[in-house]
C-alpha cells in the first residue's frame, strides 16, 4: 500500500485585528480536505472562546512540559503569552490525506519555514494603520494600552512581510476570502503536476496576483502608514 502524499502546509500570519480569523473560517467552509491546526496557548480565553475550538488553553507549566517533550513543531511568546503548534496535527493530517492550515505569528512562521521549506506562507495585511486601529477598537476587547501595544507589534510584524510567499491585503472581506481560496487551490494544482484546465488556470492566475513580487507597489503605502521602512523600487 502506497503512503499518503505529504500534506501541503499553509502558514497564515497577520497582525492582531487584520481579520485573519474571519478569513480562515470562510476558507475552511469553501475548501475540502483542509484541516485547521488549533494552537496551544497559555493565555486566558476571550469572550465566547472555547477550549479545543479557537485554542487549546493550557497552563504555562503544561506548555513548558510539552516543550521539554519535543511536542511542538514551533512555539513563540507573544504579548507575554506562549503559543505553539503541536507536531501531532501534521501527522494526523497526513494519515487522512488532508492538507494543514497553520495560524501562527511571524516568529512561528519563520520556525516552520526553516523546518518545512516547502510550506506555503501567506501574510494578511490591513489596508492601512487607521483601518487596523479602528478594527481593534471595534472589537472592544482590549484596554487602551493593549491597543497601543498591538499597533506597535503590528508595525514590527508588517515589516517582515517580504519573508512570505503571498501577501493578502484584506480591504474587502468577501474578495479576500475568494483570493485566499485561490491561493490554496492553486498550490494544490501546481503541485499535482497535472495539466491545467482553463478554469484551473484562471484560479492560478488569480493567486499569482498576490505573490510577493506582484504586490510590492501596493504594500509601499501600507508600510508608510505604519511608519515602517518602505522598500526601494526594484529594477
| Residue-wise pLDDT tens digits, 86-114 | 999 998 998 999 999 998 888 888 888 88
pTM: 0.89
State how far the Cα of 225 lies from the Cα of 63, in Å rounded to an integer: 37
Domain ranges of the chain: 9-36+101-225
* Helix pair 212-226, 129-139: axis angle to 10 deg: 70
- What is the pLDDT, as a whole number, of residue 164? 96
Say which range, 73-82, 195-204, 212-221, has the weakest mean pLDDT: 73-82
Taking 80 as the threshold, does the pLDDT of residue 83 lie above it?
A: yes
Phi then psi for residue 10, to 5 deg, are -105, 125
Q: How large is the C-alpha radius of gyration of the chain?
A: 18
- The CA–CA distances, whole Å, from 228 to 56, 158, 225 equal 33, 8, 8
CATH 3.40.50.300 fits 9-36+101-225, yes or no: yes
Amino acid at each position: 500500500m502506497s503512503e499518503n502524499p505529504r500534506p501541503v502546509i499553509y502558514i497564515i500570519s497577520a497582525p492582531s485585528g487584520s481579520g485573519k480569523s474571519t478569513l480562515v473560517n470562510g476558507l475552511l467552509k469553501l475548501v475540502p480536505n483542509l484541516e485547521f491546526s488549533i494552537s496551544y496557548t497559555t493565555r486566558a480565553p476571550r469572550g465566547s472562546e472555547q477550549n479545543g475550538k479557537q485554542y487549546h488553553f493550557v497552563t504555562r507549566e503544561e506548555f513548558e512540559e510539552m516543550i521539554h517533550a519535543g511536542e511542538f513543531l514551533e512555539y513563540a511568546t507573544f504579548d507575554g503569552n506562549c503559543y505553539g503548534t503541536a507536531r501531532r496535527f501534521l501527522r494526523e493530517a497526513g494519515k487522512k490525506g488532508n492538507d494543514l492550515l497553520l495560524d501562527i505569528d511571524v516568529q512561528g512562521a519563520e520556525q516552520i519555514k526553516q523546518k518545512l521549506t516547502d510550506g506555503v506562507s501567506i501574510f494578511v495585511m490591513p489596508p492601512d494603520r487607521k483601518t487596523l486601529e479602528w478594527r481593534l477598537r471595534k472589537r472592544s476587547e482590549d484596554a487602551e494600552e493593549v491597543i497601543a501595544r498591538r499597533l506597535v507589534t503590528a508595525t514590527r510584524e508588517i515589516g517582515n512581510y517580504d519573508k512570505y510567499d503571498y501577501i493578502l491585503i484584506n480591504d474587502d472581506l468577501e474578495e479576500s476570502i475568494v483570493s485566499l481560496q485561490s491561493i490554496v487551490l492553486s498550490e494544490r494544482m501546481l503541485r499535482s503536476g497535472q495539466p491545467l484546465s482553463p478554469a484551473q488556470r484562471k484560479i492560478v492566475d488569480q493567486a499569482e496576483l498576490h505573490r510577493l513580487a506582484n504586490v510590492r507597489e501596493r504594500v509601499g503605502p501600507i508600510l508608510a502608514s505604519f511608519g515602517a521602512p518602505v522598500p526601494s523600487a526594484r529594477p
